[in-house]
Chains A and B, each alone.
Chain A
Amino acid sequence: MTADVLSERGARQPRSGWPTWMRSIWHNAFFYRKTWRSSIISSTLQPLLYFFAMGLGLGALVDHARGGVDGVSYLKFVAPGLLAAAALQLGIEECTYPVMMGLKWVKSYWAKVATPLDADDVALGHLGWVAFRLLLSSTIFFVVMVIFGTVTSFWGLLAVPAAVLTGLATGAPTAAYAAVQKDDAGFPLLFRLGVLPLFLFSGIFFPITSMPGWVQAIAQISPLTRGASLIRSLTLDQGIGVSALISLAYLSIWFVVGVWLTIRAFRKMLIV
């Protein structure tokens, strides 16, 4: 028998009543309070610059040549794709270096698992924070889309949650990958050979049907292609069709598997 001190002094501690996984978010929030300015630049301004350069500048050339794409102006075509792409980029960014910092560089995760939080809380807390960031920047982008008249349907309101799902569907598996990396050497390659090709060939800037058959087949399984087409069907009054539901299901599978992989990877790294 050992003394049960737990029930005596422990019970007297005051509590806020937060679930364990959400307490982990405080750490991110305190950092964000310091870095939100530069975060806004990378997560919101960049996609907006693309919105103006590609949607308006390049769009003028496209609209001049053939009056738009698939019956809508190029700006309307490209905007939902950029919303999805921005979510993908933010999701992956927030699940690479920050994970490496938490586990290896600053070791914030190790501070967390010395408290009532455990590896699962750390994993879910991280993804929860990423979801919050995605919600924030997607909303800003969405407002700009509305202002420029690229949202023509009430279904469009669902574009923001769809963007968050796209970001998490790609971010979660990335977090699992990042957690088991020895160092950050793979990240630049992930961006260069993963994120950039996804960004450029997932039907954001031009319909994937114009690509050769085999490239199309690859592009079809890209989560960004599915995310972009889902959001496009929502903002462009195409309603919820079979294709949109397939996209939704496909992204959900990525998301669920990604979360499962992240929890597994965090357990493997933090419980030794």
Chain B
Amino acid sequence: MTNLTEHFPSRFLFPSRSSRAKLLVEANMRRYLRHRLLFLTGFLEPFFFLLSIGVGVGGLIGEISVQGEMVRYAVFVAPGLLATSAMNGAMIDSVFNVFFKLKITHTYEAVLATPMTTTDIVRGEVRWAMTRGTIYSAAFIVIMIALGDTMSWMVIFCLPVCLLLSYSFAAMGVAATSYMRTWQDFDLVVLVQMPMFLFSGVFFPLSAYPPWLRDIVAVTPLYQGVAACRDFSLGHVRLSLLFHVLYLAVVAGVGLVIATKKMTKTLAP
């Protein structure tokens, strides 16, 4: 009898944890190259919103006051849309695609037949979803700079914020997906995502709300991301930035733990 394992050095059979997660990222990458057009046009959505709401409606509004400073409306709305693009980019993959692989194609069951574990799957998916969100954010930052819709060079610090924001939403997305049963449950995601997009200070400042509502809105992770992006874009470096970042990091961590636990329970009970 030939011992087949002799021909494969052990490092191939058991790649390190991080490189195994990387394998899943690569698998996603390959799949996405086939849907290149869909991927490439993803950043157009926030761009269209910037032109329509930022420039079009902005023309009706003129300048508004942000932290005592008068800025064009487009400058106000752009960082909000930036944070949104990070959220949406991360949610597409962490919710829709993970659900597809979990329930429809049963891809993970095949993946688990290899040395990969559920932890690898969750980290791989989260990392991939984060990558997509970050790519869209980076593209949008370039657009913001090109259109002059930013006040400070510090706008480049928005990228790490968006990376963290994407990671948080990706982790929460996978966690939420692991609880989903049917396609109809997607509407619940939309039910959360959509109001967050419309009411988390992307389009108008929280001062429009009564005080009790402001506190509720401020709790949403998207608001935290919007606030951080807006501060960097306007060049306001404040202590509250640290709070936003910490908050998002906690959300990311909690999401990751829930996602891993629930996925393990579902896939490898």
| In-complex A–B contact (CB below 8 Å) | yes
Q: What is the CB-to-nearest-CB distance from A39 to chain B, in angstroms, rounded to a whole number?
A: 8
Q: In the assembled complex, which residues on chain A have CB atoms less than 8 Å from the CB atom of B45?
A: 192, 196
| Contact residues of B between 99 and 154, Cβ < 8 Å to A | none
State how many angstroms separate the Cβ of B102 from the closest Cβ of chain A.
19
Report which of B73, B190, B198 forms a contact with A41, defined as CB distance below 8 A.
B190
B60 at the interface (CB under 8 A from A): yes
Q: Are A50 and B60 in contact (CB under 8 A)?
A: no
| Bound: A196/B204 CA distance, A | 21
Query: Chain A, 36-72, contact with B by CB distance < 8 Å: what is the 0/1 string?
Result: 0010011001100110111001101110011001000
CB of B191 within 8 A of chain A? yes
- A245: interface (CB < 8 Å): no
* Cα–Cα distance between A35 and B57 once the two chains are bound (Å): 36
Residues in B with CB closer than 8 Å to A241 are: none
Interface extent on B, as a size class? 20 to 34
Which residues A184-231 have CB closer than 8 A to chain B? 185, 188-189, 192-193, 196-197, 200-201, 205-206, 210-211
Q: In the complex the two chains form, is B57's CB within 8 Å of A189's CB?
A: no
Q: Is the CB of A196 within 8 A of B208?
A: no
Contacts of B52 in A (CB 8 A): 200-201, 205-206
**Given A38-B184, A53-B198, A192-B44: A205 and B191 interface contact (C-beta under 8 Å):** no
- The SS class assigned to the A binding surface is helix
How many inter-chain contacts with C-beta < 8 Å in the A-B complex? 89
Task: Looking at the assembled complex, report how far the CB atom of A133 sits from the nearest CB atom of chain B, in whole angstroms.
Answer: 16
CB neighbours of B61 from chain A (8 A): 61-62, 65-66
What residues of B have a CB within 8 angstroms of the CB of A65 in the complex? Answer: 60-62, 64
The chain A residue with its CB closest to the CB of B50 is A200
Within 8 Å CB of A62, what residues of B? 57, 60-61
User: What is the chain A residue whose CB lies nearest that of B200?
Assistant: A53
Q: What residues on A are CB-neighbors of B41 within 8 Å?
A: 189, 192-193
Q: Contacts of B37 on A, CB cut-off 8 Å? A: 189
How many angstroms from the CA of A150 to the CA of B75 in the assembled complex?
30
Interface residues of B in 146-199 (CB under 8 A from A): 184, 187, 190-191, 194-195, 198-199
Within 8 Å CB of B208, what residues of A? 57, 60
Task: Select from chain B the residue with minimum beta-carbon distance to A42.
Answer: B187
- When distances are taken between beta carbons in the complex, the residues of chain A under 8 Å from B15 are none
Q: List the B side residues contacting A49 at CB < 8 Å.
A: 194-195, 198-199
CA distance A38 to B181 in the complex (A): 14
Could you tell me the distance in whole angstroms from the C-beta of A45 to the nearest C-beta in chain B? 7
Q: Does any Cβ of A come within 8 Å of B203's Cβ? A: yes
Interface residues of B (CB under 8 A from A): 35, 37-38, 41-42, 44-45, 48-49, 51-53, 56-57, 59-62, 64, 73, 184, 187, 190-191, 194-195, 198-199, 203-204, 208
A-B residue pairs in contact (CB < 8 Å), sample of 8: A38-B187, A49-B198, A61-B61, A65-B61, A66-B62, A192-B45, A193-B44, A211-B56
List chain A positions with a Cβ less than 8 A from chain B: 35, 38, 41-42, 45-46, 49-50, 52-54, 57-58, 60-62, 65-66, 69, 74, 185, 188-189, 192-193, 196-197, 200-201, 205-206, 210-211
